[in-house]
Amino acid sequence: MSRPPVTVIRDIVFDLDGTLYVSQSFAATIQEQAAVYMAAARGVSPDEAQMLIDATRIRLAEESGTVQTLSAVCTSLGGTVRDLHAWFEQQLRPEAHLMRDERVVALLSHLGERFGLYLYTNNNRVLTMRILEYLGLDGLFSRVFAIDDAWRAKPDEGMLERILATIGRAPAEVLFVGDRYDVDLRLPEQKGCPVFLSQNVEQLLRLEELLTSDHP
Residues that bind Mg ion (CB under 5 A): 15, 17-18, 179
Give exposure, 99-133, as e/b (b: 16+ Cβ within 10 Å). Answer: eebeebeebbeebeeebbbbbbbbbbbebbebbbe
Q: How far is the CB of 206 from Mg ion (least distance, A)?
A: 17
Q: How far is the CB of 125 from Mg ion (least distance, A)?
A: 16
Q: Which is nearer to Mg ion, 79 or 155 (CB)?
A: 155
Q: How many residues does the chain have?
A: 216
Q: Which is nearer to Mg ion, 39 or 123 (CB)?
A: 123
Q: Which is nearer to Mg ion, 173 or 179 (CB)?
A: 179
Q: How far is the CB of 2 from Mg ion (least distance, A)?
A: 39
66: left (phi over 0), alpha (psi -120 to 50) or beta: beta
**CB distance 171 to 193 below 8 Å:** yes
Q: Which is nearer to Mg ion, 29 or 39 (CB)?
A: 29
With H, G, I as helix, E, B as strand and everything else as coil, classify residue 95: helix
Measured distance CA(205)–CA(211) in Å, rounded: 11
Q: How far is the CB of 147 from Mg ion (least distance, A)?
A: 12
Q: Which is nearer to Mg ion, 17 or 173 (CB)?
A: 17
Measured distance CA(146)–CA(121) in Å, rounded: 5
Q: Which is nearer to Mg ion, 18 or 116 (CB)?
A: 18
Position of minimal CB gap to Mg ion: 18
Q: How far is the CB of 178 from Mg ion (least distance, A)?
A: 6
**CB distance 94 to 26 below 8 Å:** yes
Q: How far is the CB of 149 from Mg ion (least distance, A)?
A: 17
With H, G, I as helix, E, B as strand and everything else as coil, classify residue 48: helix
